[in-house]
Amino acid sequence: MIREPSKEDLIGSILQLTDRAFRQLLPMVPKEWLRLDLTMPQLKVVLLLFISGPSRMSEIASALGVSLATATGVVDRLVERDILTREGDPGDRRVVLCRLSEKGGELMSGLWQLSRDQAGELMRSLASSQLLLITESLEVLLQAGEATKENLHRD
């Protein structure tokens, strides 16, 4: 008798496939990403602001898991390079918001678009039925992510 895989078996299989896909597709990462002249903490801050938008210094420190002083040092170097700007919050003068500068926004938008273009090329080799399967899978994952996020905010 053939036993159906358990939920944990399926999750393990998906994670193994994800690992394999990451390793196989990593060489396809646009070289521009790998040539960035940013430290890992700097890249994390830039990605955070690109994805989440303007943030307080305390939010940046918390996201990086570092002290406020450490986060301030990372942001200072990015401001010096004109990748980030600091500005006051009109609603609360005590708050300083960090955001991507025009140069930083253009840098990240360009890198993001390169990655999208490359992913588009990869997907063009797939059949429509495969693309539909990927679409449905991503929609299910996004729904699960939203539900998880809502549960975290309730706690």
Strand partners, 92: 89
Would you list the domain boundaries of the chain?
20-124, 127-155
Task: Say what the pLDDT of residue 53 is.
Answer: 94
Look up residue 40 and give its amino acid.
M
- Predicted TM-score of the model (pTM): 0.72
Tell the CATH topology of 20-124: Arc Repressor Mutant, subunit A (1.10.10)
Q: Is 79 exposed, middle or buried (0-12, 13-18, 19+ CB in 10 A)?
A: middle
In this prediction, the residues of the chain whose per-residue pLDDT falls under 70 are 26-30, 153-155
Q: What are phi and psi of 7, to 5 degrees?
A: -60, -40
Size of the chain, expressed as the number of residues it contains: 155
Task: Say what the pLDDT of residue 42 is.
Answer: 94
**Whole-angstrom distance, CA of residue 122 vs CA of residue 8:** 30
Task: Say what the pLDDT of residue 70 is.
Answer: 95
Cα 92 off chain centre by: 28
**Whole-angstrom distance, CA of residue 81 vs CA of residue 144:** 38
**Coil, strand or helix at 4:** coil
What stretch of H or E contains 55? Answer: strand 55-56
* Ramachandran class of 138: left when φ > 0, alpha when ψ lies in -120 to 50, beta otherwise: alpha
**Whole-angstrom distance, CA of residue 47 vs CA of residue 64:** 11
Task: Say what the pLDDT of residue 92 is.
Answer: 79
